[in-house]
Amino acid sequence: MRRNKKERQKLLQDTIVETPFITDEELAEKFSVSIQTIRLDRLELSIPELRERIKHVAERKLDDEVKSLHIEEVIGEIIDLQLDQSAISILEINKEHVFSRNQIARGHHIFAQANSLAVAVIDDELALTAKANIRFTRQVKESERVIAKAKVVSGDSEKGRTIVEVSSYVGNELVFSGQFEMYRSNTTQR
């Protein structure tokens, strides 16, 4: 359904507020307009491009919050972090992440995003992966965006272990899931 410019721009603003990590391509498809039209609408509305929106969300001083590793050691960009509770990161799959002959992402990049997020969510100076049970549910291709969501599900303070579940999605489709048993040096975990 075609909308006039004013209606489209209002819906565009609402959509980006609801899903700030939506791409221009996805918006163009959603509103049945060209990518250029979406870019012009964003420009008129002073809505930054996706990369800037991601960076803005991430600028919550995550470097001070992540204790178990340096923020630059995290694979992907952390956009939300509640220590010992949950975390979210985004990884854009680019040419360097894929096999050259078929443009399918190498699994170790998807695993590394999930594993580093499981480490980052731990509220401790030392967090190591003791064990992981993982499952890839579909191939990820170049130009897709993987959103990994980590959730701390349990902890055993006597053993210094915490269980973190990570689910990774492209759009709404699950592409990877893993349960990580994390060793931590601090046994006063939640």
Does the CA dihedral 65-67-73-77 come out positive or negative? negative
* The pLDDT of residue 84: 87
**Any domain includes 73:** yes
Assess if residue 66 is contained within a domain. yes
Residue 76 CA to residue 95 CA, distance in Å, equals: 15
| Contact in structure between 110 and 140 (CB atoms under 8 Å) | yes
Question: Do 39 and 121 fall within a single domain?
Answer: no
Q: Are 69 and 125 in contact (CB under 8 A)?
A: no
- Which pLDDT score, from 0 to 100, does residue 56 have? 63
Give the pLDDT confidence score for residue 81 in this predicted structure. 85
Same domain, 106 and 38: no
66: pLDDT strictly greater than 70: no
How far apart, in whole angstroms, are the C-alpha atoms of residue 87 and residue 102? Answer: 31
68 occurs within a structural domain:
yes
Number of folded domains that form the chain: 2
Distances (CA, A) of 27 to 9, 71, 76, 165, 187: 11, 30, 23, 30, 46
CATH label of the domain that carries residue 111: 3.10.129.10
Could you tell me the residue range of the domain that residue 17 belongs to?
A: 5-55
Q: Evaluate whether residue 115 is within a structural domain.
A: yes
Among 14, 39, 55, residue at a domain's last position:
55
Does 155 reside within a domain?
Answer: yes
The verdict on residue 144 lying in a domain is yes
The verdict on 87 and 129 lying in the same domain is yes
Q: Which amino acid is at 161?
A: R
Whether 47 and 66 share a structural domain:
no
Q: Are residues 39 and 98 in the same domain?
A: no
Judge whether 189 lies within some domain. Answer: no
In this prediction, residue 189 carries a pLDDT of 46
Confidence check: pLDDT of 170 > 90 = yes
166-173: average pLDDT: 95
DSSP string, 88-152: EEEEE--GGGB-TTT-BBPHHHHHHHHHHHHHHTS-SS-EEEEEEEEEE-S--BTT-EEEEEEEE
Range in 33-42, 152-161, 170-179 with the lowest mean pLDDT: 152-161
Same domain, 100 and 174: yes
Higher pLDDT, 67 or 105: 105
